[in-house]
A and B are shown apart, each in its own frame.
Chain A
Amino acid sequence: ETGVTQSPTHLIKTRGQQVTLRCSSQSGHNTVSWYQQALGQGPQFIFQYYREEENGRGNFPPRFSGLQFPNYSSELNVNALELDDSALYLCASSAGLAPDEQFFGPGTRLTVL
């Protein structure tokens, strides 16, 4: 059974650019959630996708958008990058909507210069 994988591992962008992060969910999982974790902070919920539809969203601006594909993998897109977007972006997948079934990937470290 393959766990949650994320790509790339690290990424450096400049302010104003756009970025796409990718997440492959664990086999059999149809739900993906994305989190932003700033240095020294806890993860902050960005949004969740369930069966290709957005199922919930945290307090993030519209320039944070996502997609979930038929194979349940997912993308997080961030437009007009700001310095404060520098963080570890975590993806978590689950077999449904139960909160205790999330398995997290190792994250993508984004640095915005």
Chain B
Amino acid sequence: GQQLNQSPQSMFIQEGEDVSMNCTSSSIFNTWLWYKQDPGEGPVLLIALYKAGELTSNGRLTAQFGITRKDSFLNISASIPSDVGIYFCAGHTGNQFYFGTGTSLTVIP
């Protein structure tokens, strides 16, 4: 099945640094979503985006829905140790969901 291209695959950063990750697709989506998954748990929704060009924030997280509707990015500012985990983008269109390959984030105290 189709998976969205997500980069980088992994990141190792110092606590306090900002993080940026992005997701691209060959297909257009009506909704972009960003999730975080901790070990042994299901993904948890962080941010949902509904319109091309939309920029949305949730605390230290900011995400944008690309103008072409084929990409999205997520920024995390001033990272903290609890930001550790795997971040997934997901695109939704019709009644189909497509997830990215994930970005593994490690925050070094």
Contacts and interface: CB of A to CB of B under 8 A. Distances in A.
Contacts of A33: 97
Interface in B1-43: 1-4, 6, 31, 33, 40-43
B86 to A, nearest CB: 9
Interface in A91-106: 92, 97, 99-100, 102, 104-106
Interface stretch (A13-21, A52-60, A70-78): A52-60
Q: Tell me whether chain B's interface is mostly helix, strand or loop, or mixed.
A: strand
Interface size class of B (residues with CB under 8 A): 20 to 34
Contacts of A45: 1, 96-99
Interface of B: 1-4, 6, 31, 33, 40-45, 48, 88, 90, 92, 94-102
21 contacts: A4-B42, A35-B97, A35-B99, A41-B101, A42-B90, A43-B88, A44-B1, A44-B3, A45-B1, A45-B98, A56-B95, A58-B96, A58-B97, A59-B2, A90-B42, A97-B95, A100-B31, A102-B45, A104-B41, A104-B42, A106-B42
